[in-house]
Amino acid sequence: MKSEAQFLELIDTHFKGHHDFVALGRGDDCAVLTGGKDLCVSSDLFLEDVHFRHEYFSAADIGYKALAVNVSDIAAMGAKPVAFTMDLMIPSNLDDEFWNDFFKSMSMLARQNDMVLAGGDLSKADKLGISISIFGVAGSTGFLKRQNCAYGDILFTIGDIGLARTGLMALEATGTKAREALPAAVLAHLRPKPKVMIGTLLNAAGVKGLMDVSDGLARDLPRFLGPELGADLTIETKTLNSNVITFAQTIDVDPVEFALLGGEDYALLGAVSPFEAGKAESVPGFTRIGTVTKEPGLTVNGKTFTTPGFDHFND
Amino acid sequence: MKSEAQFLELIDTHFKGHHDFVALGRGDDCAVLTGGKDLCVSSDLFLEDVHFRHEYFSAADIGYKALAVNVSDIAAMGAKPVAFTMDLMIPSNLDDEFWNDFFKSMSMLARQNDMVLAGGDLSKADKLGISISIFGVAGSTGFLKRQNCAYGDILFTIGDIGLARTGLMALEATGTKAREALPAAVLAHLRPKPKVMIGTLLNAAGVKGLMDVSDGLARDLPRFLGPELGADLTIETKTLNSNVITFAQTIDVDPVEFALLGGEDYALLGAVSPFEAGKAESVPGFTRIGTVTKEPGLTVNGKTFTTPGFDHFND
């Protein structure tokens, strides 16, 4: 790709279509998002050698995941995505085929979620980087927030905990060979599935709070509970994905502890009142992990748990 | 700055405050922007060694300009900014003083424009990079778009054309010495002034279309006119900033041609009907540069002008 015009043309080829919530699309100083409903917005980075490596991420994987991690934030609000903007940092070493695969994969995920690309920016850069801002709308029930639970509430997750970390560690250790040994884990890292439909169902089911688990449950749970509350968790090894158990045993750590520290799960963490849990419990994948306690702090299977989770700067 | 938590704390110190258009601020999976009014949105990158160099950009300059270029897109819609999100790429070589100056300067510009930081993402990176998405609302007159002019309309600019390019070239050639030789030009490059108030006045004055001149007038004018129309410009050398004239003469090029190719002006380019131009002409800085013609193509001072402007990938 030699010029900005060629890039914009390729983007137009892949990202077509209109959306009721986009009154003015790409090509002006700004896009215009239609008023009338509150919009939720989130921004996430997806950077070469920080969030992905070319060694085991294909162009299609990168295009997919850069958008998927953003969609996951919308899902965690119990909302539906409608549009996104993309700032793209473009190194000179990627060929036309790469970009075609990248945009094709990203645009397929966009279409599946009925959202359009509303704008963005292009720049040359040393390494590939994607910064996406995404916009969503809630149903009649509003948005599901963090720090909106009370003593006695049931805590639950939907989606595998620790599986993406298993995939990442296996890929880092053995490269693409990991695809055969731990296929579910590798897929969880390369192609996390945003749970938009699940989030919408949970919202309609009267769930009180919901959160995207992206830095590991151990680190994200206190953020979900807020400073005043704690949690008492019961997590049996057998509830974990078998890839997590296998890998944790290989490196000789406790599978539950490993799972709690796993970053990039893009699982959902939620709280529901024990008196109104019926509907939520029937949502596919609902896994009860414990209850909210009066005092701050985390107990797992009867023991105090203090190890911090993933830190973006130090891990 | 050693951890993500320390960064978030510093950000909270500098970016305080609430906004009527932000129903839920930082700290959740998403922020929530209040519905009721259409929102305009724009995203821009500001990257080390592409958009700025540490050699002649202070931390305060970087923090300021990263946000200012985004505010300029809102101004060009005739709108007012209300909030922004920031994805920050953080290299390890910048100290606490740098970050304090960076956030202080950025937050001052945010306060001056009555907007709040609604969310974002932090990541380590090799080089400093800032990706900002910004949100604005229009007055009762709606948003000012591109490609909304007709044959015979008056074309005008507000803000110096070519001045920022003069500053950039002088800084690249002579470093910070350029500050003394060409102070206005250096300031135009380091600290471009977003014209929010001017945009609002032009909107109220019945201007038909408005655009942010960021890639040079020669390149941006066809984008503004659309494929069906052209422009006949009359630009006298004496209307240019004296720094532009001085510098162009030094490097032995025609000052008008140099000015037309200047990127990063963050001037406004607009069109107004000749029958309704009275109010617009009274807006401070209004400079008539020509008229819209029936046929595509650009004529400057009676001669056809074909040199393309700035291309992000090749210049």
Task: Select the highest-mean-pLDDT range: A121-135, A140-154, A207-221, A299-313.
Answer: A121-135
**Does this complex have an ipTM over 0.90?**
yes
pLDDT-based confidence at residue B131 (cuts at 50, 70, 90): very high
Residue B221's pLDDT is: 95
pLDDT tens for each residue of B238-275: 999 999 999 999 999 999 999 999 888 999 999 999 99
Q: What is the pLDDT of residue A312?
A: 56
Q: Determine the Cα–Cα distance for residues A175 and A179; give it in Å rounded to an integer.
A: 8
Q: Does B46 show up as a binding residue in the annotation? A: no
> Which pLDDT score, from 0 to 100, does residue B80 have?
96
Mean pLDDT for all residues in chain B: 94
- Chain B residue numbers with beta carbons less than 8 Å from the beta carbon of A50 are 123-125
Domain boundaries, chain A: 4-138, 154-304
Do B228 and B296 contact (CB within 8 A), yes or no? yes
SS (H, E, C) B156-169: EEECCCCHHHHHHH
CA distance A216 to A228: 20
Give burial (CB, 10 Å; 0-12/13-18/19+) of A232. middle
Of B33, B119, B211, the CB nearest to A29: B211
Determine contact, residues B54/B150, Cβ cutoff 8 Å: no
Which of B3, B22, B28, B52 is the best residue to mutate to test the A interface, defined by the most A CB atoms within 10 Å of its own CB? B28
> Residue B123 has which token pair?
């990541």
Asked if B77 reaches chain A (Cβ–Cβ under 8 Å), the answer is yes
Q: Are A39 and B33 in contact (CB under 8 A)?
A: yes
Lowest mean pLDDT across A13-22, A110-119, B59-68? A13-22
Q: Is the pLDDT of residue B315 over 90?
A: no
Is the separation of the CB atoms in A29 and A75 below 8 Å? no
Strands B129-138 and B31-33, by their bridges, are: unpaired
- Residue A251's Cβ-count burial label (10 Å; 0-12, 13-18, 19+) is exposed
Q: Looking at the complex, does the CB of residue A118 fall below 8 Å from at least one CB of chain B? A: yes
Find the residue in B nearest to A1 (Cα). B313
Does residue B39 have a pLDDT over 90?
Answer: yes
Spatial separation of the C-alpha atoms in residues B150 and B28, rounded to whole Å: 46
The residues near A144 (Cβ < 8 Å, ≥ 6 apart) are A76, A77, A78, A199, A202, A203, A207, A208, A209, A210, A270
Taking the CA of residue A288 as centre, how many other CA atoms within 13 Å lie in the half-sphere pointing to its CB?
15
A280-296 pLDDT, tens per residue?
999 999 999 999 999 99
Q: Rounded CA gap, A58 and A98, in Å?
A: 8
Pairing assessment for the beta strands B129-138 and B39-47 based on DSSP bridges: antiparallel
CB contact under 8 A, B50 and A125: yes
Beta-sheet pairing, B154-158 with B287-293: antiparallel
Q: CA-to-CA distance for B61 and B192, rounded, in angstroms?
A: 10
Distance (Å, rounded) from C-alpha A224 to C-alpha A267? 13
Residue B178: is its pLDDT beyond 80? yes
| Strand arrangement, sheet containing A209-213 | A209-213, A267-272, A154-158, A287-293, A230-233, A297-300, A303-304
Count other C-beta atoms under 10 Å from residue A55's C-beta: 10
Which chain B positions have a beta carbon within 8 Å of A126's beta carbon?
A: 49, 126-127
CB-based contact A292:A225 (threshold 8 Å): yes
The answer, yes or no, to whether residue B313 has pLDDT greater than 90, is no
Cα A8 to Cα A17: distance, rounded to the nearest angstrom = 15
Residue A311 confidence (pLDDT) = 59
Task: Give the nearest partner residue to A47 out of B30, B123, B146, using CB atoms.
Answer: B123
Residue A95 has pLDDT above 80, yes or no: yes
Whether pLDDT at B306 is above 60: yes
Which CATH fold would you assign to the domain A4-138?
Answer: 60s Ribosomal Protein L30; Chain: A; (3.30.1330)
Residues B94-129 pLDDT 10s: 999 999 999 999 999 999 999 999 999 999 999 999
Select the residue from A2, A3, A20, A28 to test the B interface by mutation, using most B Cβ atoms within 10 A.
Answer: A28
Cβ of B45 and A4 within 8 Å?
A: no
Residue-wise pLDDT tens digits, A234-261: 999 999 999 999 999 999 999 999 999 9
Given a cut of 80, is residue A272 above it in pLDDT? Answer: yes
Does position B309 have pLDDT exceeding 70, yes or no? no
- Cα gap B194→A58, rounded to integer Å: 40
Distance CA A167, CA A265 (A): 10
% of chain B surpassing 70 pLDDT: 97
Report residue B31 CA to chain centroid gap. Answer: 25
- Name the closest residue on chain B to residue A34, using Cα atoms: B38
What is the side-by-side order of every strand in the sheet holding B230-233? B209-213, B267-272, B154-158, B287-293, B230-233, B297-300, B303-304
Pick A124's closest partner by Cβ from B24, B42, B312.
Answer: B312
- B275's CB contacts (< 8 A; 6+ apart) are none
DSSP A237: G
Nearest to A47 among B34, B38, B89 (CB): B89
Please list, in sequence order, all residues whose beta carbon lies within 8 angstroms of the beta carbon of residue B247, skipping any fewer than 6 positions away. Answer: B166, B169, B170, B182, B185, B258
Q: Are B231 and B291 in contact (CB under 8 A)?
A: yes
B/e letters for B100-114, b = 16+ CB within 10 Å, e = fewer, are: bbbbbbbbebbeebe
| pLDDT tops 60 at residue A134 | yes
Question: Any idea what DSSP says for residue B143?
Answer: -
Instruction: Round to whole Å and give the CA distance between A42 and B85.
Output: 8
Distance CA B245, CA B256 (A): 8
- Judged by DSSP in three states, A287 sits in strand
Q: Which amino acid makes up residue B70?
A: N
Domain B154-304 is in which class?
Answer: alpha beta
Phi and psi at A5, nearest 5°, equal -60, -40
> How does residue B223 score in pLDDT terms, banded at 50, 70 and 90?
very high
Stretch 221-280 of chain B: residues touching chain A, C-beta under 8 Å? none
Q: What is the pLDDT of residue A141?
A: 81
Tens of pLDDT, residues A136-175: 999 778 999 999 999 999 999 999 999 999 999 999 999 9
SS3 A129: strand
For residue B141, name the pLDDT band (cuts at 50, 70, 90): confident
